[in-house]
Amino acid sequence: MIEVVNPGRWTTIQDRGRPGRERFGIPPGGAADWFAAAVANRLVGNHLDAAVLECTAAGPSLRFDSERVVAVTGAHAGDIETWVPHVMNRGSTLEVGAIGPGLRTYVAVRGGIDVPIVLGSRSFCQRGAFGGGFGRPLARGDRFAAGAMIDGAPLSNAWPDGHRLSIGSPWEVRVLGGPHADAFDRTALPRLTAVACRVSPELDRMGLRLQTPGVHLQADEILTTPVTGGAVQVTPSGEMIVLLADHPTTGGYPVIATVITADLPLLAQARPGDTVRFRQVDPAEADRARRRLEGWLELDT
Amino acid sequence: MWQIAAAGDRALLVTISSVIEPAVLAQVLSLDRALQERRPHGLISTLTAYGSLLCHYDPAVIERDGLAGEIRAFEGRLDASVPTGSVVAVPVRYEGPDLAEVAAKTNLTAAAVLELHAGREYLVYCIGFAPGFTYCGIVDDRLVLPRLASPRTRVPAGSVGIAGSQTGIYAVESPGGWNLIGRTDMRLFDPAADPPARFKPGDRLRFVPVT
């Protein structure tokens, strides 16, 4: 078993989420930085569907009552060596500690975190208060077991530097225009991509707000439509909301642009006060960028 | 003409119309059914809301232009009859925190608000926003009001609200900006149930006042 000695600021159990259940109003969920979570699983030899811990801003302390291989990826964390498998000895404690640069750090344990599957996933869904083993973020004294979601041996080396995303502000995030390009005048997206946006303090797994000094985008509300992760919504006051993994499934604000899949991990790591710059790309570049990350995950390192 | 636009690199948004109308919903639901029955290779899942439909697809299997073409092939060839299922009764205690304010803003008595709201059948246009949240329409013209100027941070599960020409039911506790006029004990979302949401788009319901 693994026992939570200190839960950290906001630590939740996440896997690849429950996509396909949006028709019930259920957010897709899953690790906000899908790439770091996948690498953590690869490092310990897990199936990519295995559940990991997503730690936010300040990480947990976890006591292991039997020997276990673990890996910590994503944002920099305390004094732990990240992006490399470690053996936790019986009775030892993993202290993730303060997190940053970046916001979210992932802890994979060999075999995956074994909590019940709810609606196709082990991920905690905050809005519905279900999943994630406890229907809430981890608390002191919680205990959970490692499972059997094993796909191979743990990797013997650190994840190559050249196959990681560089973490730190300013974040350059690529977007495709739309889908509601028609709701804006033609200068709107070029004006947005020309400025530095600042990440507001209100931020969670549903989305982050951006302040865009010097550019005001005018847009009326639209009839409620389905939305996707990475959607950049513009509110009537001109504020920007970028949707993350636990986003509402529908929205009434027009979406000026959508962050490409390959750059969602960057957005998941942005902290309040950080700078985000959007860059518009074409669909071919979005596809290349996504395939590049997927290719890294398939490599034998 | 349907609009089909990329919603990022793994989804397409099909907009059939931007009005709240039973005939539009019927088109959207008909397209949804057609895509389930003759599922294009690489289509992962769909999600509808009012006049639009989102398709999540696997870009390793199908390219966006190919999928857009397959969707476009249904245009003008769908059965667009308005759904006519049985009407579900939703018991409501009309004692919401905004009932008096709604009555004042609409120049009606609270009893008249209740009567107008409970006096008609509604079509479910969308399950969205939060787990099980049920968007229905269309409310009587006399009850059309804007959302609250500042949304509540916590709206309890079961709350029944109105906003614009819509009425809706909060299935789980969430933030919200609708004018709350009542509350139901009916459970609209249960993660252990199959399906987890009580309603789906195209269902019909009626609010029944209870004390």
What is the predicted pLDDT for the residue at A300?
Answer: 60
Query: B118: distance to nearest CA of chain A, Å?
Result: 24
Among chain B residues, CA nearest to A252: B129
Nearest-by-CA chain A residue for B174 = A127
Q: Tell me the pLDDT tens digit for each residue of B106-164.
A: 999 999 999 999 999 999 999 999 999 999 999 999 999 998 888 898 999 999 999 99
Could you report the per-residue pLDDT of B78-102, keeping only the tens digit for each?
A: 887 877 778 999 999 999 999 999 9
Which A positions 73-102 lie with beta carbon below 8 A of chain B? none
Say whether A22 sits in a helix, a strand or coil: helix
This prediction's pTM: 0.95
* Mean pLDDT in residue range B163-176: 95
Cα separation of A174 and A257, whole Å? Answer: 10
pLDDT digits (tens, 9 = 90+) for B1-60: 999 999 999 999 999 999 999 999 999 999 999 999 999 999 999 999 999 999 999 999
Q: Which residues of B touch A286 (CB under 8 A)?
A: 8-9
Residue in B18, B127, B174 nearest the CB of A223: B18
A232 interfaces chain B, CB cutoff of 8 Å? no
Interface test with B, best of A16, A18, A24 (most B CBs within 10 A): A24
Task: Please check whether residue B174 touches A, CB under 8 A.
Answer: yes
Please indicate whether, in this complex, the C-beta atoms of A25 and B171 are within 8 angstroms of each other: yes
pLDDT score recorded for residue B84? 75
C-alpha span between B64 and A258 (Å, rounded): 15
Measure Cα distances from A180 to A14, A255, B28 in Å.
31, 5, 18
Residue pair A35/A106 in contact (Cβ under 8 Å)? The answer is no
Asked if A290 and B46 come within 8 Å (Cβ–Cβ), the reply is no
Q: Both ends of chain A: CA-CA distance in Å?
A: 29
> pLDDT, tens digit, for every residue of A10-28?
999 999 999 999 999 999 9
Interface test with A, best of B1, B2, B4, B9 (most A CBs within 10 A): B9
Interface touch B131/A24, C-beta < 8 Å: yes
Which of B50, B127, B172 comes nearest A128 by C-beta?
A: B172
The burial class, CB within 10 Å (0-12 / 13-18 / 19+), for A288 is middle
CA-based nearest distance A170→chain B, Å? 22
10-residue block means of pLDDT along chain A (301 residues)? 97 97 97 98 97 97 97 93 96 96 97 97 97 98 97 94 93 96 92 94 94 83 94 90 97 95 97 97 96 88 53
Question: How far is Cα B166 from Cα B160, in angstroms, rounded to an integer?
Answer: 11
Q: Which structure tokens are listed for A235?
A: 């509110």
Provide the pLDDT for residue B79. Answer: 81
Give B-chain residues touching A178 at CB under 8 angstroms: 5-7
Q: Which residues of B touch A20 (CB under 8 A)?
A: 44-45, 56
Nearest CA distance, A69 vs chain B (angstrom)? 32
Rounded mean pLDDT of chain A?
A: 95
Contact of A180 with chain B, judged by CB distance below 8 Å, is answered with yes
Q: Chain B, 11-30: which have a CB under 8 Å from a chain A CB?
A: 11, 13, 15, 18-20
Q: What is the count of residue pairs from A and B with beta carbons less than 8 Å apart?
A: 141
Q: β-strand A171-177 against A275-280: which pairing, if any?
A: parallel
Summarize pLDDT for A211-244 with one digit per residue, the tens.
988 788 878 788 999 999 999 999 888 889 999 9
Contact B6 A225 (CB under 8 A): no
**CB neighbours (10 Å) of residue B7?**
25
pLDDT for the residue A301:
53
